[in-house]
Amino acid sequence: MDQRFGPLYDAENPWGRDDGFFLAAVDETPAARVLDLGCGTGRLTLALAAAGHTVTGVDPHRASLDAARAKPGADRVTWIEGTSAVLPDAAYDVAVLTSHVVQEIRAEADWRRTLADLRRALVPGGRLVFDSRDPAARRWERWNARDSRRRIALPDGTVVQAWTELTEMRDDLVSFVHHYLLPDGDELRSPGTLRFRTEEELQAALGNAGFTVERIHGGWDREPVGASDDGELIVVARAGAAITPR
């Protein structure tokens, strides 16, 4: 992984309405034990800790965690390299997965496993909050060089030209490449594939894993599904009581 991606990610993803939503959602439980699964470079993780929560950030990508650990306030957070498999039992009041982490968990077996681990890691009645892009909004139709072109200003004052190109659509998997044209003429490419799950698919998977869905919003101002240009499925679910074998 090119070391230049870390600063690019942070410059392209400053604090946003989504972060405000997740912070407010977590704040509904004062002084919560919070898990940020797929915490990346720690933008929200650090803000949650600064707000007085006891926060654990987990991510399988070491370079992102290293970038997070180097930021001011990082010593207030417990950082763990890994996936949901590393989580302890009944340790968290709230778990968040933000900036569409769940769409990076593509294989159905991994998704089922992740939800089962989250159910296990939350206390009974604990909350799971995450975002997933609504396939009905067809966001990928804007992933072309014209509609997605953007300028990213880096902290050193240089500007990077970026655009996103759709490369493949297969079933509910959408593949793309982010292109970054650096001031020195170098071009970085960051490919990815995301799974788009419908509201019904999310509901079913959560129910099977022992969660009760409390609400699903379509946008960051808590609009109903389909009523916002944000095109999101923002899920708030609650962990049910543990299933005890007879």
Ligand X SMILES: C[S@@+](CC[C@H](N)C(=O)[O-])C[C@H]1O[C@@H](n2cnc3c(N)ncnc32)[C@H](O)[C@@H]1O
Pairing of strands 150-153, 122-133: unpaired
Q: Which is nearer to ligand X, 66 or 224 (CB)?
A: 66
CA angle 85, 86, 87 (to 5 degrees): 95
CA angle 14, 17, 22 (to 5 degrees): 100
Q: Which is nearer to ligand X, 2 or 227 (CB)?
A: 2
User: Shortest distance, CB of residue 182 to ligand X, whole angstroms?
Assistant: 21
CB 87: neighbour CB atoms within 10 A?
21
User: Shortest distance, CB of residue 15 to ligand X, whole angstroms?
Assistant: 10
Q: Which is nearer to ligand X, 37 or 234 (CB)?
A: 37
Q: Which is nearer to ligand X, 45 or 228 (CB)?
A: 45
Residue nearest to ligand X (CB): 40
- The phi, psi pair for 182, rounded to 5°, reads -80, 160
Q: Which is nearer to ligand X, 110 or 223 (CB)?
A: 110
User: Shortest distance, CB of residue 134 to ligand X, whole angstroms?
Assistant: 17
- Single-letter amino acid, residue 246: R
User: Shortest distance, CB of residue 105 to ligand X, whole angstroms?
Assistant: 5
CA dihedral 138, 127, 204, 167 (to 10 degrees): 30
Kindly give the residue spans of alpha helices, DSSP state H, lying in the chain. Answer: 5-12, 17-27, 43-50, 62-69, 101-104, 108-121, 199-208
User: Shortest distance, CB of residue 238 to ligand X, whole angstroms?
Assistant: 21
**Spatial distance between the Cα atoms of 48 and 23, rounded to a whole number of angstroms:** 6
Q: Which is nearer to ligand X, 125 or 154 (CB)?
A: 154
Three-state secondary-structure class, residue 111: helix
**Spatial distance between the Cα atoms of 49 and 62, rounded to a whole number of angstroms:** 20
User: Shortest distance, CB of residue 82 to ligand X, whole angstroms?
Assistant: 8
Which residues contribute to the site for ligand X (CB under 6 A)? 13, 37-40, 43-44, 59-61, 64, 83-84, 98-101, 104-105
> Of 182, 180, 189, nearest to 158 (Cα)?
182
Q: Which is nearer to ligand X, 62 or 125 (CB)?
A: 62
User: Shortest distance, CB of residue 97 to ligand X, whole angstroms?
Assistant: 7
